[in-house]
Amino acid sequence: MHAPFLILQTGEPVPELRRHRGFPHWIRVSGEIPRDGTDVINVANGEPLPERVPYAGIFVTGSPAMVTDRQAWSESTAEWLRGRIAAGIPTLGICYGHQLIAHALGGTVDNNPAGREIGTVEITRSMTEEDPLMQGMPAQFPAHASHMQSVIHLPDDAVVLARSALEPHQAVRYAPNCWGLQFHPEFSTQITRTYVKARAARIQEEGGDVDSLLGTIRSTPEARGLLRRFVRIAHRRLLGKT
């Protein structure tokens, strides 16, 4: 039997999607993790973090919150993550989770100077970096995104693995077993369309074209596959094969 994964839930999706069960469910389904293969701790709701971590790996979800707000639950989660990353527990942060890991390790998070990134975006992989998570990924691939804040300055020793036109830190390796993804590999086309429609008024206020964004949304199988790859990496580590 494989050890379960821990999902740290840092927030809820837009209200229009809450009947679709939210970030932990999407991660589990996209990562092909069995229903009984995850424990979820809703840190944003104040649920306590475990002292021991008998898990194959840790996921940190996206959130409508901002790392720069320095909320108490977020800061305590960052401190907790710092210790688990140092211990070598495989960890993958998505969007807010990616930013929280960067903050925990000494990086800087703030509003992206390029503005909002939302919809399906083209990700360009660094072809100079060998990395187990990105191994076998094409030079360019589509991924879904929705964020205003970004990792502005990386922590020491962090390595950029992928970027996009508006985001220089789309995929980052923070430690030998720790990664962050600014994009959302767990999003489907339906989820992304709903996010664009939910943010339509703000997008228009910022000078964006909602119809154009909706027209470019497409499936993202390569990005989705990164969750399954992370699961395999974590399981291989448990078996002593890495």
**What is the distance between the alpha carbons of residues 87 and 198, in angstroms, rounded to a whole number?**
39
**What is the distance between the alpha carbons of residues 145 and 126, in angstroms, rounded to a whole number?**
19
For residue 1, is pLDDT > 60? no
For residue 35, is pLDDT > 90? no
Of the residues 51, 129, 186, 205, which is catalytic? 186
Please give the pLDDT value at position 242: 53
Token pair, residue 9, equals 């839930």
Provide the pLDDT confidence category of residue 53 given band limits of 50, 70 and 90: confident
Please give the pLDDT value at position 241: 61
The angle formed by the CA atoms of residues 45, 167 and 112, to the nearest 5 degrees, is: 60
CATH code assigned to 5-238: 3.40.50.880
Please give the pLDDT value at position 2: 72
**What is the distance between the alpha carbons of residues 36 and 226, in angstroms, rounded to a whole number?**
21
Residues 165-188 have pLDDT tens digits of 999 999 999 999 999 999 999 999
What would the mean pLDDT of 177-204 be, rounded to a whole number?
Answer: 97
Of the residues 103, 144, 147, 184, which is catalytic? 184
Provide the pLDDT confidence category of residue 18 given band limits of 50, 70 and 90: confident
Contact 178, 91 (CB under 8 A): yes
Residue pointed to by tokens 């497409």: 218
Q: Could you give the C-alpha distances from 175 to 136, 181, 233, in angstroms and in order?
A: 20, 14, 14
Of the residues 95, 98, 103, 167, which is catalytic? 95
Contact 178, 167 (CB under 8 A): no
Ordered by start, the domain boundaries in the chain are 5-238
Q: Is 178 a catalytic residue?
A: no
Please give the pLDDT value at position 128: 78
Please give the pLDDT value at position 60: 98
For residue 8, is pLDDT > 90? yes
Q: Is 184 a catalytic residue?
A: yes
Bridge partners (DSSP) of residue 149 are 111
Question: Please, which residues have CB within 8 angstroms of residue 122's CB and are 6 or more apart in sequence?
Answer: 140, 141, 142, 164, 165
Q: Is 95 a catalytic residue?
A: yes
Residues 100-149 have pLDDT tens digits of 999 999 999 999 999 999 999 999 999 877 899 999 999 999 999 999 99
**What is the distance between the alpha carbons of residues 85 and 233, in angstroms, rounded to a whole number?**
15
User: How high does pLDDT run on average in the chain?
Assistant: 95
Q: To 10 degrees, what angle do helices 96-104 and 72-86 make?
A: 70
